[in-house]
């Protein structure tokens, strides 16, 4: 509590299972002193009411354990972007430009049309650029809790193939590199 009131952080990861008391108390405290940091709740509790309570108390997002580092990274980046890029809602990565408001993507200034899942995938890759991302992490990201299909990788393959093709149509660079046996890497 001392630390959060003295320093300013870009983003606070709040583990609801902190041994010295309920994480909600800290969250309320943070909001009561009008801190504007992004708060990402980490919790093992997959209970709707906890989630709603967290978000209602001013948390920006809620991540259920266990999660992949790549997922955490994508969530943190998303919160950080929302908190800092107040005016400029455009994300540039190499030849790719993304309008975060209109969810429009251009490659080499040429627009490409992405499905919702492909757009999610692209954002996820950019957040984890240069890192190897496992197929399991991608599956969990794309389907989340909704569908227990995390062990079904055919669909990921289809989405990645489509995304890769749409980007490759506009540029010579192949952004998505397959890592045999485990997943992909976005260059």
Q: How far is the CB of 164 from another protein (least distance, A)?
A: 18
**Could you tell me which of 36, 120, 26 has the C-alpha nearest to residue 86?**
36
Q: Could you say which of 4, 90, 91, 149 contacts another protein (CB under 8 A)?
A: 149
Q: Return d(Cα 122, Cα 83) in angstroms, integer.
A: 21
Q: Return d(Cα 157, Cα 43) in angstroms, integer.
A: 30
Q: Is 20 among the residues that bind another protein (CB under 8 A)?
A: no
Q: Is 70 among the residues that bind another protein (CB under 8 A)?
A: yes
Q: Is 35 exposed, middle or buried (0-12, 13-18, 19+ CB in 10 A)?
A: middle
Q: Binders of another protein among 104-123, rule CB under 8 A?
A: 117
Q: Is 135 among the residues that bind another protein (CB under 8 A)?
A: yes
Structure tokens, 99: 């309008």
**Could you tell me which of 168, 22, 152, 49 has the C-alpha nearest to residue 108?**
168
Q: Is 2 among the residues that bind another protein (CB under 8 A)?
A: no
Q: Could you say which of 155, 162, 166, 171 contacts another protein (CB under 8 A)?
A: 155
> Which residues in this chain contact another protein in the complex, by CB under 8 A?
17, 42-46, 48-49, 64-70, 117, 131-132, 134-137, 140, 146-152, 154-155, 158, 179-183
């Amino acid at each position: 509590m001392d630390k959060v009131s003295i320093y300013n952080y870009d983003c606070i990861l709040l583990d609801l299972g902190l041994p010295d008391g309920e994480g909600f108390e800290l969250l309320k405290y943070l909001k009561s002193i009008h801190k504007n940091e992004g708060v990402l709740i980490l919790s093992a509790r997959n209970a709707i009411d906890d989630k709603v309570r967290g978000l209602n108390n001013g948390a920006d997002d809620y991540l259920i354990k266990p999660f992949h580092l790549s997922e955490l990274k994508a969530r943190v980046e998303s919160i950080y972007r929302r908190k800092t890029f107040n005016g400029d809602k455009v994300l540039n990565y190499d030849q790719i430009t993304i309008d975060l408001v209109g969810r429009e993507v251009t490659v080499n200034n040429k627009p490409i049309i992405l499905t919702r899942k492909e757009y999610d995938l692209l954002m996820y890759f950019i957040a984890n650029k240069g890192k190897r991302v496992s197929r399991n992490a991608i599956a969990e990201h794309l389907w989340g809790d909704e569908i227990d299909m995390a062990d079904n990788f055919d669909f990921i393959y289809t989405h990645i193939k489509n995304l890769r093709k749409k980007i490759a149509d506009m540029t010579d660079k192949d952004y998505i590199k397959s890592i045999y046996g485990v997943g992909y890497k976005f260059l």
